Amino acid sequence: MSEGYGWRFKIVLAGAWIVLLFLLVPIFVSAPISLTPDRFLTLPKDGVSLRNYENLFTNPDWTSSIWQSLVIAVVSTVIATTLGTLCAVGLWRIASRWSELVRGFVLLPIIIPSIVSALAFYRIFVDLGLLDSYPGVIIAHAVLAVPYVVITVSTSLANFDLRLEQAARNLGADMRQTLRMVILPCVAPGVLAGAVFAFISSWDEIVVTLFISKLNIFTLPRRMWSGIRDQADPTIAACATTLIFLTILVIGSQMWLRARRLKAQSQAEGTA
């Protein structure tokens, strides 16, 4: 019986690795393409060149798009994290049928297709005069990112010990003090995770941005989209490779810090 389970497990494991490689190999193809000396997307044949990386960090068009994406992502993340956290706490405190309806409404941006959201934003922003403006793009990105914050903070609140809040209220703290000194510190990991997801959502957003921006706003995803559609600029591969490297660096650092923290906790428990 154990032998049968063993070969079945090996087949499942092999299938999982095949699927994983199928998904990852096309991503890492961008690395050699980014070193091509040619002016179009192709694998390097006659040597390698860093010209595309130089163009990424020196060309005013690309640097402007990077800064625009960074500013929009940071501001929209702050707004989405603040609103999403307050919304999650409010829905948690007022647990009723109506609160669940509100939660479903808040989660609509990640349920409905992006093209529907893009058309809705376009129609509303035409009347408000927010098309092709920083406030308009920031508001749209914040609305799209709020559900991620609500989900992560709500998950943290599900494990929150209500006795801590009751103890704070019994000691004379009002609701604002309880929220700031008791609830938020306990759900900080959920807030941080929501902020990360909100930032990634804004940084990668392309569909809504294409609908509500024209000439003034040219984020990095839109610049990459334009490069693929118009001229197949190999700088796109350099940009993709840089983003992949930064992602691996951040995830690796997080895993290292977590392992170090767990090791420190185990050593402390062993000493105690």
pLDDT digits (tens, 9 = 90+) for 162-210: 777 778 777 777 777 777 788 888 888 889 889 989 998 999 899 999 9
Residue 91 predicted with pLDDT over 90: no
Residue-range domains of the chain with CATH = 61-234 (1.10.3720.10)
- Element holding 86 (H helix, E strand): helix 60-93
Whole-structure pTM value:
0.82
Distant-in-sequence, close-in-space partners of 74: CB < 8 Å, separation ≥ 6: 199
pLDDT digits (tens, 9 = 90+) for 203-248: 989 999 999 988 888 999 998 888 777 667 788 888 888 888 888 8
- From the number of C-beta atoms within 10 Å of its C-beta (0-12, 13-18, 19+), residue 148 rates as buried
φ and ψ of 253, to 5 deg: -65, -40
**What mean pLDDT do residues 72-98 have?**
89
Instruction: Quote the pLDDT of residue 84.
Output: 93
As a whole number, the mean pLDDT across the chain is 85
pLDDT category, 21, cuts 50, 70, 90?
A: confident
pLDDT category, 5, cuts 50, 70, 90?
A: low
The alpha-helical segments, DSSP class H, found in 94-182 are 97-106, 114-128, 134-158, 162-170, 175-178
Instruction: Quote the pLDDT of residue 272.
Output: 61
C-alpha distances in Å from residue 263, one per residue of 253, 258, 266, 267, 269: 15, 9, 5, 6, 10
Residue 39 predicted with pLDDT over 60: yes
C-alpha distances in Å from residue 37, one per residue of 27, 29, 45, 87, 217: 20, 16, 9, 51, 30
Instruction: Kindly state the DSSP code that residue 43 receives in the 8-state scheme.
Output: -
**What mean pLDDT do residues 107-125 have?**
91
pLDDT digits (tens, 9 = 90+) for 43-57: 788 788 888 888 888
Instruction: Quote the pLDDT of residue 33.
Output: 86
**What mean pLDDT do residues 155-162 have?**
81
C-alpha to C-alpha distance for 83 and 77, rounded to whole angstroms:
10
